[in-house]
Structure 1
């Protein structure tokens, strides 16, 4: 497997939107709040121009991506998606390491409560549950969970063989 991670460029918007849409369609507990055209427009006109988007290429194709932002002085992992054909190959871990685990400051993220796989993934990498929400603050109106990772946590994230 050849894996590389690089900063996403404007030309990647369509492919990244397709990864996102495919992954989100696998989440029956959190229906999409926007149609395909709106998602593509958001990637092209908002997410990528804002910066902080990294993509993983595996064997020449886009396998996944992660997007971070700063809000109220904190780092947030806003998106982390790995395409179905690329899961369990260390891609999510590589993206997380590149965008979060090299940081010297805390990082927060929200995940749907029903997304047990993602919750296990983040917990295995040192994120701690801070609170559970009723979903009133997300577009999907689905219960969510707030997690935080701090570089000074005693439990270091699992970076190999997890």
Structure 2
């Protein structure tokens, strides 16, 4: 099994949007706020042109992605999704390592409170819970959790 991480390109938008949509449909506690066409357009026209996006390939197949932005003196991990057939194979860990590599500043993220697997994953990789929200700040209106990683806690 070979995992390769590379910068995502506009031509990857459909594959990444497909992973996102499949993963989000597996989250019954957080219904999608937009239809498929709007999500696919957002990937192609907004996310890929404006964020740092890395794509993971496993044995030549697109397996997952991570997207980061910079705000308020911190890096934000805005997206990290791994396609179901590739979960548990180290893809998420590899993408997170890429997102955190060379970081001299904090990295923050929001995750749905009900997403226990993601919360365990981030906590296992040094992220600390900063607070819980009622969901009024996210499109899905689902309770969320704010996490932060600091460089000195890096594994």
Q: TM-score, normalised on structure 2? A: 0.98
Cα distance in structure 2, aligned partners of 1:3 and 1:48? 21
Cα distance in structure 2, aligned partners of 1:130 and 1:102? 23
Cross-structure match for 2:147 = 147
Does structure 1 residue 28 correspond to structure 2 residue 35?
no
| Per-residue deviation, residues 92-114 of structure 1 (Å, max 9, x unmatched) | 00000011243111100000000
Q: SS in structure 2 opposite 1:152?
A: helix
Q: CA RMSD in A?
A: 0.8
Contact 1:17/1:40, CA 8 A, preserved across alignment? yes
Cross-structure match for 1:13 = 13
Moved more, 129-138 or 99-108: 99-108
Segments ≥4 residues shifted beyond 2 Å: none
Contact 2:127/2:149, CA 8 A, preserved across alignment? yes
Q: SS in structure 1 opposite 2:49?
A: helix
Q: Give aligned pairs, total.
A: 155
Listed as ranges, the gaps of 5+ residues in structure 2 are none
Cross-structure match for 1:68 = 68
Q: TM-score, normalised on structure 1? A: 0.93
Q: SS in structure 1 opposite 2:103?
A: coil
Aligned runs of 1:72-151 on 2, under 5 Å? 72-151=72-151
Moved more, 70-79 or 89-98: 70-79
Listed as ranges, the gaps of 5+ residues in structure 1 are 158-162
Q: SS in structure 2 opposite 1:121?
A: helix
Contact 1:101/1:151, CA 8 A, preserved across alignment? no
| Per-residue deviation, residues 133-157 of structure 1 (Å, max 9, x unmatched) | 000000000000000000023xx43
Cα distance in structure 1, aligned partners of 2:28 and 2:51? 29
